[in-house]
Amino acid sequence: MEQNYKKHAMIDPLFHYVLAPLALLTVILGIIQIVNGFSISSLLLFVGAVLFFLIIAKLRLYALKLQDRIIRSEENFRYYVLTGKRLDSRITMKQLIALRFASDEEFPSMVEKAVNDNLTPNQIKQLVENWRGDYHRV
C-alpha cells in the first residue's frame, strides 16, 4: 500500500479490533454485574476487567513511546548524515514524527521551516512533496 498524506495512518488489527474492544467489553460487563447484584465475585470481575484494560492500554503506550524514541534516533542520525549537523534542539517530538515522511532531499529544509515557523505535524505532512512511507509504525 502506497502511503501519502491521506493514507498514512497505521492500524494494528489485533490491538484495535480485538484487544481494545475486548478490554472495554470486560469493563462494561463488570459494571453490569455490580449493578445487577453486588457480590464479591462481581467485584473481582470488575477489578480484573479494569486491570486487564489498564494493562492493555499501558502496553500500547510503551510501544508508542519506544517507537517515538526510535524515530528520534533515526531522524537525528538522518539529519546528521544529510547536513553534518545535529538536529535543532527546539524541534518537538510531534514535529519530528511528521518530518519522517519527508524525502532526503527536502528533509533538512523542512526541519528548518518546521522549527522557524513552528509548524504543526499536520502542516508539515501537508508540505511534504515526495512522501517517504513509514510502513513499520503502528
pLDDT in tens, 93-122: 999 999 999 999 999 999 999 999 999 999
pLDDT tens per residue across all 138 residues of the chain = 565 555 656 677 888 899 889 888 988 988 898 888 888 988 888 898 899 889 988 988 998 899 999 999 999 999 999 999 999 999 999 999 999 999 999 999 999 999 999 999 999 999 999 888 776 666
Spatial distance between the Cα atoms of 106 and 138, rounded to a whole number of angstroms: 24
pLDDT at 134: 72
pLDDT at 132: 84
pLDDT at 137: 64
Spatial distance between the Cα atoms of 91 and 113, rounded to a whole number of angstroms: 10
pLDDT at 7: 60
Q: Nearest 5°: CA angle at 17, between 15 and 22?
A: 80
Three cell numbers, residue 130? 515526495
pLDDT at 46: 87
For 28-67, give one letter per residue: b (16+ CB within 10 A) or e.
eebeebeeeeeeeebeebbeebeebbeebeeebeeeeeee
In the chain, what are the domain boundaries? 10-67
Reported pTM: 0.71
- For residue 92, how far is the Cα from the chain centroid? 14
pLDDT at 49: 87
Spatial distance between the Cα atoms of 11 and 73, rounded to a whole number of angstroms: 23
pLDDT at 45: 85
pLDDT at 60: 87
**Are 96 and 67 contacting, i.e. CB atoms less than 8 angstroms apart?**
no
Mutual angle of helices 40-83 and 107-116, in 10-degree steps: 110
